[in-house]
A and B are shown apart, each in its own frame.
Chain A
Amino acid sequence: DQQVKQNSPSLSVQEGRISILNCDYTNSMFDYFLWYKKYPAEGPTFLISISSIKDKNEDGRFTVFLNKSAKHLSLHIVPSQPGDSAVYFCAASASQTGANNLFFGTGTRLTVIP
């Protein structure tokens, strides 16, 4: 059973516009959420994270929003640049379980059109 879901496999956005990538989760024990960016044949690169005690975290062009009641988070990229074209993975972990590992969504391929 997929505990972290990214329902949009792909997204295309014009350069300079906002990209919004969405992620839903089912496990209410999740308390730490991350976004990774991945290019083909490379390891994922950490982008930004958010703890469940916050509802927003911002780092430059990247902002993550967390809606705990809806079990939903989103990544906003503004303005989008062609170099942002990659696959974006949402991930979540539950610190209280001690399992100490991340659960990943299936990814969303973002294409930024020049």
Chain B
Amino acid sequence: DGGITQSPKYLFRKEGQNVTLSCEQNLNHDAMYWYRQDPGQGLRLIYYSQIVNDFQKGDIAEGYSVSREKKESFPLTVTSAQKNPTAFYLCASRGSLYGNTIYFGEGSWLTVV
């Protein structure tokens, strides 16, 4: 089945540690995105990538890093510099540059303990 796979679903991290969230898609989509959702709030864009080896900062990129070495993969690293990392993280992809719908993965819960 085609889709977007995020892993892990639940992740606990100690303060001061980096953690990487995986996102893989087999939809042959060019663009990929990372969003963050906090309780009772909308989705905020962290990073996005339109093509391989290229990515752009979104609205809340501080404390995060990404890479796009393959079309199918867009991992997100939450670094120790991110002051409030506990949130629900959503990966998404889009089929073409304009006008197409963004489709989301199932999300990953990150909790800092």
Contacts and interface: CB of A to CB of B under 8 A. Distances in A.
Interface string A6-46: 10010000000000000000000000101010000111111
4 shortest interchain CB distances as A-B pairs: A43-B104, A95-B98, A106-B42, A104-B43
A41 B105 CA distance: 11
Interface string B95-112: 001110111111101000
Contacts of B25: none
A63 B58 CA distance: 31
Contacts of A43: 4, 6, 90, 92, 104-107
B48 A107 contact: no
A6 B43 CA distance: 13
A73 B4 CA distance: 28
A46 B43 contact: no
Given A43-B105, A98-B97, A100-B48, A89 B88 contact: no
Interface in A94-114: 95, 98, 100-102, 104-107
Interface of B: 4, 6, 31, 33, 35, 40-45, 48, 50, 58, 88, 90, 92, 94, 97-99, 101-107, 109
For chain A, the bracket of interface size reads 20 to 34
Contacts of B40: 9, 106
Name, among B41, B104, B109, the residue most crowded by chain A CB atoms within 10 Å (CB to CB): B104
Contacts of A98: 97
11 contacts: A32-B99, A41-B107, A41-B109, A43-B6, A43-B92, A91-B102, A100-B31, A100-B48, A101-B58, A101-B102, A106-B40
Residue of A32, A34, A42, A101 ringed by the most chain B CB atoms within 10 A: A101
A80 interface: no
Nearest to A97: B98
A101 B48 contact: yes
